[in-house]
Structure 1
Amino acid sequence: MKDYHINIFYSEEDEAYIADIPDLKFCSAIGDSPEQALHEVILAKTAWLEAAKAEGKTVPIPRYRPAIYQIVA
């Protein structure tokens, strides 16, 4: 099974690292290091998925892939 893509980047405005999961609307986290941001977004992903299931909402399948991985035919 594929897992969700995670973006991690440094935000000058926040002076911290941001991690987000594009397939899960509003699922993101912040940390002082890339590793901390990753750890936090994994916790956020678990909570997001549990909440969606508890509310009977559809859980999206992993689809997002950065442009570097997309093949142009």
Structure 2
Amino acid sequence: MKGRYRYHAVLEKTDMGYSVHCPELRGCWSQGRTKQEALDNIRDAVETYLASLREVLRKKEVRELTILA
């Protein structure tokens, strides 16, 4: 599961700064006062999300699928 992955960071302006979420990772979101702070925070959130996912999947049978779309 370790490797180099790319994810999207969707930024939205709010009254308090910026909200940001990663659509590929359900429930993975963050916020910041500036765009850069929000992006730094979502990077941390994605890393934490993936670490938690690795822990959960380590105890499961995992198969790789190839999908042609």
TM range (shorter): 0.7 to 0.9
Aligned length: 56
Q: Mapping of 1:1-73 within 5 angstroms? A: 3-12=6-15, 15-56=16-57
Which consecutive residues of structure 2, in runs of 5 or more, have no partner in the other structure?
A: 63-69
Instruction: Report sequence identity in percent.
Output: 21
TM-score w.r.t. the length of structure 1 is 0.69
Provide the rounded CA distance (Å) in 1 between the counterparts of 2:40 and 2:19.
Answer: 11
Which consecutive residues of structure 1, in runs of 5 or more, have no partner in the other structure?
A: 59-73
Provide the rounded CA distance (Å) in 2 between the counterparts of 1:47 and 1:21.
Answer: 13
CA shift, 1:2, in A, is: 5.3
TM-score w.r.t. the length of structure 2 is 0.72
| C-alpha RMSD over aligned residues | 1.8
Moved over 3 A (4+): none
- Of structures 1 and 2, the one scoring higher in RCO (CA 8 A, sep 6+) is 1
